[in-house]
Amino acid sequence: MADAGNQSCLMAAENTVSLLVCLFHELEEWAGLGQVEDYLSVLEYLLWVFTPLAIVFIVPFLIVILLYLSILFLHVYKRKNQLREAYCNNLWDGARKTLATLWDGHGAIWHGYEIHGMEKIPDKGPALIVYYHGAIPVDYYYFLANVIIQKGRTCHSVADHFLFKIPGFKLLLEVFSVIHGPQEECVRALRNGHLLGISPGGVREALFSDETYPLLWGKRKGFAQPVIPMFTQNVREGFRSLGTLRFFRWVYERFRLPIAPVYGGFPVKFRTFLGDPIPYDPNVNAAELAEKVQQAIQSLINKHQKIPGSILRALLERFHTRHKDHLQ
């Protein structure tokens, strides 16, 4: 039927323009171009549906990009200061302070970051900071930045082994005194008078905890003293993990691969709270001390975090707080 219509169109064509129009319609029908508009409409709809989903998975990679930019800066700084290395015992102080300023600025702008209880961090001497581990511990990065800026100290940190296997991270970990956690290294850092930050839940807590903020410490014990508990409000609303899905849990337990996707990057309000130091007590054994520390962090969660956490509520709190600050 269509062929008959096209033939009649060609027969009726009286001039070149009419002939070209007929040929165009015939080509359009032959190639199925009439359906292209329908395809584009479907594509536009799918783009509208999946764009927000793509954004919440892409934003966490911005943190990784920022880390790599930090590494790049350190490499540039190292090359620039090679001639001074022989004359300066603290080659990296300037780099640490510069990066700390950048990270502190990022926290203030994106999360309105606040820290409460900084006076509990000693100006000198050892202390162990034990904290709750978010899906991405960006709050801990902000804390480290504040320790450098406000206290003029570098807080040593314990990280999972897999972090040391990420290409390019070696220099960053060395400059910021990150260790992979053998007990001997932790004891050495504290005996040398350093601050030491550790999350007993580690990767397990990062991936498999959720908006109800359970502490997943397993059988982690052996804390040194004194201990300062730390928790950041809304850290699970900033970034979340799909580790609660059974497949990702199985992969981690079977192969120790932390592949559970992380999504978020929401500009929620972050407030870090430092609890009262737990002083040295020679009569308290390792198991009792671990229980006391866990109770202290749980107390901070119960006091400062609404359970279950809500991304929408945390966003509203952030902008409501900003509005109040502008009014004052």
CA distance 125 to 190: 8
133 in catalytic set:
yes
Residue (of 230, 218, 228) closest to 305 by Cα position: 230
- Catalytic-role residue among 25, 75, 111, 133: 133
Q: What are the Cα distances from residue 14, in Å, to 3, 11, 17, 25, 328?
A: 19, 8, 8, 16, 79
Vertex 252, ends 139 and 294: CA angle to 5°? 45
Cβ of 270: how many Cβ atoms within 10 Å? 26
Q: Are 179 and 158 in contact (CB under 8 A)?
A: yes
Q: Are 164 and 170 in contact (CB under 8 A)?
A: yes
CA distance 249 to 255: 10
Q: Radius of gyration (Cα) for the chain, nearest Å?
A: 28
User: What are the φ and ψ backbone dihedral angles of 73, each rounded to 5 degrees?
Assistant: -60, -40
HSE-up of residue 238 (Cα within 13 Å, Cβ side): 26
* CB-count exposure of residue 78 (10 Å: 0-12, 13-18, 19+): middle
Residues forming the active site: 133
